[in-house]
Amino acid sequence: MKKTLFVIKLLILFISMPVTVSAVSEISLSKIDRPQNAILFIVDGFGSSYFYPEYSPEGLDGSALVKARAGNFSFGARVADIRTGRPVTGIAHSMIVTGFSDAFEETVGYPDATIFDVTREHGFVNLAVMQTGDFINMRNEQDIILYAENNSVEDPLMTIQAEKAPPGIYDVMYEWKMKLPAYMNKTKGVGKYIALNRWGIDSANAVATEMIKKHPSQRFFLTMNIGEIDSGGHNMGDDDYVKLIEALDADFYPIYRTALENNIALFVTADHGMSFATLNARRGGHSSDKYSTKLESVRIPFIILSPNTVTGVIAGEYGQEDIAPTLLSVLDLPSNLQYSDGNAINIKKYASVFVRSDPKYKVSLWNNGQKVSERSDSEVIFSGLPLNSSYTIKATGNGINFEEKVSLDSDKQFNLIKPGRGSSISNRGLIAIILILIVNITGILIIKRIKD
C-alpha cells in the first residue's frame, strides 16, 4: 500500500512540473520604476488594532487596552482596513500566499496555487526565513528556507531545507543559525521573545544583503515570518504583547532600510491579530470561539513600500485574499493564481495588461484607433499604461480574431488559450489535484484501519 502511495506521489510530482517552456514578452509604454526584488514580512499575531493610528484596541469586556508606539510601521501605502476571514495561523498563511479565501495548508501544495509559483515562473528565486507558518507545503515552495523546527522560545531549534539555493546562501543561513544562541544568551521573560524576533529579522536581512552583493542580477522573493509576537500574546499579558510590538518596531528598521536603498518592494502583514479578555489579562488568544470574531483578532496590517506604488492611507475594506494579487501587481507579474478569489488593491501608479497567448497569435494594443504595440509570445505584458485610460486589445492569426476594449482602472488579464487547446498546464493541475485527493483519502483510510 505504501509503495502504491509513493508511486502516486511521484506521479503527482511529474504531472505538476511545467510542460511548456513559456516565453514572456514585455513592453513598457512609459518609464516605470519597478522593484527588482521583494520581501514579504509576515508577523504572526500582529493585530493592526494595537498600533494603527485609526484604532483603539478593546478587551472582550469592552475595556480599553494599551496601544503600542510603532512609528516605523507608517511608511508607504498603508491599507487601513484589511481582515482575515480565518484567524488561524496555518490557514491564514495559506490565504496570504494563494489569494484564496477558502485556502488551507493543502492548497499551498497544488500546482500554480501560490505567489511562489508565479515568481519562480518569472525568474525569481524563492528564499525564506520563517519562525511560524512554515508547514511542509510552505517549505516545499521555497528554493531554500531557514525555519524553526519547534515553536519554543526556551529552546528554539532552527533547520535549513535547501532545494536550488543560489551559491553562498546556504552558508549565510548556516552562519545565522549558529548565531542564535548568542542572541538568546542571558535573556529572560519578554526579553527572550524580543531576542528571537530580532534574530529572525537580522537573519533575513543578512540573506537579502548577500543576494544584493553576490547575485545582483538574480531577482529574489524573500518570505519571512516573525513568530514571537504571537507566542508572547498567548503566554503573557496585553502589556507584554504591546512591549513586543514596540521592540519589533525598533528592530524592523534595518531591513526597512535595506529595502528602501536597494529597490526592494517590502510588504508587511500578519496572519491574524490577538485578543485579550480584559486589561491586564495574563494570556491572549485569536482562534478559539471566544476570540475569533473579535476585530482585534481579525484586523491585520498591510503596508507596502515600493517605488511604483502610491504613498498614504488606503481607504476601503479588504480581505486577506487580496494580499497575493496586490503583491503580484506591484511586482508587475500576472495574477495567475489558480484558486484566488482576491483582487489587487489599487496602489500601483500605472496599469499593466497581461495576456496569456499562443506564440502563433499576434497580440496588439490599440489606443484611439492607433496601434501602440504588437508582439507574439506565450505571455505578452504591456506595462506602464496610464491609469483610467482606455485601450483595445486585439489578437489575430492562427484562427483567432479577438478584440476587447478595456478601461484601465487597474491591471487587466486576458487568457487567449482556449480550454483543450494548449491549456495542458491547467488540465495537468486538475489531474494532480485528483491524485492528491486519492492519496489523502487513502491515507485517512489506512489511519482509520490502524486505529480500528
Instruction: Closer to Zn ion by CB, 34 or 294: give it.
Output: 294
Q: How far is the CB of 88 from Zn ion (least distance, A)?
A: 7
Q: How far is the CB of 58 from Zn ion (least distance, A)?
A: 20
Instruction: Closer to Zn ion by CB, 44 or 332: give it.
Output: 44
> For Zn ion, which residue of 81, 238, 240, 271 counts as binding (CB under 5 A)?
271
* 89-98 vs 323-330: helix crossing angle, rounded to 10: 40
Q: Candidates 17-25, 268-276, 323-331, 334-342 — which segment interacts with Zn ion by CB under 5 A?
A: 268-276
Number of residues that bind Zn ion (CB under 5 A): 4
Q: Candidates 164-172, 240-248, 266-274, 398-406 — which segment interacts with Zn ion by CB under 5 A?
A: 266-274
Cα 177 to Cα 203, 215, 255, 271, 315, distances in angstroms: 8, 22, 18, 24, 40
44 binds Zn ion (CB under 5 A): yes
By CB under 5 A, the residues from 218 to 237 that bind Zn ion are: 230
Instruction: Closer to Zn ion by CB, 18 or 85: give it.
Output: 85
Q: How far is the CB of 452 from Zn ion (least distance, A)?
A: 34
Q: How far is the CB of 89 from Zn ion (least distance, A)?
A: 3
Which backbone phi and psi does 428 adopt, to 5 degrees?
-65, -35
117 binds Zn ion (CB under 5 A): no
The rounded distance, in Å, linking the Cα atoms of 29 and 118 is: 23
Q: Candidates 78-86, 161-169, 271-279, 409-417 — which segment interacts with Zn ion by CB under 5 A?
A: 271-279
134 binds Zn ion (CB under 5 A): no
CA neighbor of 355 nearest in space, from 330, 391, 389, 387: 391
Task: List residues bridging with 392 in a β-sheet.
Answer: 366, 405
Please give the full DSSP string across 290-347, using - where no structure is assigned.
Answer: HHHTSHHHHEE-EEEE-TTB--EEEEEEEEGGGHHHHHHHHTT-----TT------S-
Number of neighbours of residue 406 by Cβ within 10 angstroms: 16
> For Zn ion, which residue of 49, 89, 231, 378 counts as binding (CB under 5 A)?
89
Sheet with 24-28: strands ordered across:
24-28, 379-385, 351-356, 412-415
275 binds Zn ion (CB under 5 A): no
Residue with nearest beta carbon to Zn ion? 89
Q: Which residue has the cell 489606443?
A: 367
Could you list the residues that contact Zn ion (CB under 5 A)?
44, 89, 230, 271
